[in-house]
Amino acid sequence: MINKSFWITLFALTTLCVYLFETAPPPLAEPKTGQATLKVEQLFTLLQAENAAARQLWTKEIVGEGKQAGLKFDEHWRDANVEAGPLPALFLRETAKSMEKSPVRISLFLGSDYPISPDNRFEGLQQEKFQALRQSQQAQFFYVPDIGLHTGMFADVAVAAPCIDCHNKHQQSPKHDWQMNDIMGAATWMYPAATVSLEDMLKAVSVLHQGIQDAYGAYLAKAKTFAHPPVIGEQWPRDGYYLPSPEVFMQAFLQRTAPQTLPVLAAFSSLKQTAPTPSDGK
């Protein structure tokens, strides 16, 4: 059971994220002299851990269990005549679309060398770095001079049978022999600065959380239009023909991510407080 202090800390973090998102200067503003910063690679790593947790929650607890309960998921889920929700890759796309609306210039997309949609194919330097990732199975961090963005690329591994079956059976898929644990693509993050402040990092985390909540909210809005809509509340598809409310879904997500995210932010906050300040010349 999660103790009371955890929720107090989580509430404080959420409040701080909201405050900083509303009041902090733009993320590209030069940090104040003496303010601690971290390399953008550490921001990418933190965000990717959160993104991976959200995708796992969606894939296993909503899509996997949902199919057993009678829910459907389809690439054309937004069509008016389709009673379905987004597939895992499309849930990520919904999250990314929400993030694009934010003034914080953090972006996310899922690319591959064998994508179903040609728009998601890696080209040029990204393709080169993805092949290095495939060979080493290590995240790749690099700068793309043509667009002026720092990039973090993380392996998207086939861990769920529905994802593999979808790609192998899809008529537009250029590859039909995917297997479990194959690297099917890469979650790719981009940001314009080489370093980030604590405020920048908190704002980026807040934007990601909002994107995940918006993506889930879009699915619930569609589910309410079904001829036989699932009951939305405290229960999950593993309990039957149910879906968790946005609050319940996000609570489960935060329970998975807070134990790893809070210590990183707390350590960064401590670093900021102890960072040296410039001399006044005396």
Residue with the bigger pLDDT between 33 and 44: it is 44
Q: Does residue 63 carry a pLDDT above 50?
A: yes
Residue with the bigger pLDDT between 98 and 10: it is 98
Sign of CA dihedral 7, 202, 157, 61: positive
Q: What type of residue sits at position 164? A: I
Contact present, 142 and 129 (Cβ < 8 Å): yes
What pLDDT shows up at residue 14? 53
**pTM score:** 0.83
CA angle, 57 then 255 then 27, to 5°: 90
Q: What is the enclosing helix (H) or strand (E) of 190?
A: strand 183-191
What pLDDT shows up at residue 116? 82
pLDDT tens figures, 217-237: 999 999 999 999 999 999 999
Tell me the three state secondary structure of residue 39.
Answer: strand
CA angle, 183 then 186 then 188, to 5°: 170
Percentage of the chain beyond pLDDT 90 is 66
Contact present, 184 and 156 (Cβ < 8 Å): yes
The per-residue pLDDT of the chain, averaged, comes to 85
pLDDT tens figures, 17-37: 544 444 444 444 444 445 689
Contact present, 42 and 228 (Cβ < 8 Å): no
Sign of CA dihedral 97, 99, 102, 105: negative
Of the ranges 68-77, 123-132, 270-279, which one carries the lowest mean pLDDT score?
Answer: 270-279
pLDDT confidence bin for 276, thresholds 50/70/90: very low
Percentage of the chain beyond pLDDT 70 is 83
CA nearest to 155, candidates 245, 248, 45:
45
Q: Distance between CA 84 and CA 78 in Å, rounded?
A: 8
Q: Is 195 exposed, middle or buried (0-12, 13-18, 19+ CB in 10 A)?
A: middle
Q: Which two tokens stand for residue 276?
A: 């040296």
Residue with the bigger pLDDT between 120 and 130: it is 130
Q: Does residue 9 carry a pLDDT above 50?
A: no
pLDDT tens figures, 257-269: 999 998 888 888 8
CA nearest to 260, candidates 26, 62, 85, 46:
46
What pLDDT shows up at residue 172? 82
pLDDT tens figures, 79-129: 999 999 999 989 999 999 999 999 999 999 999 988 888 888 999 999 999
pLDDT tens figures, 183-218: 989 999 999 999 999 999 999 999 999 999 999 999
Q: What is the mean pLDDT of residues 240-264?
A: 95
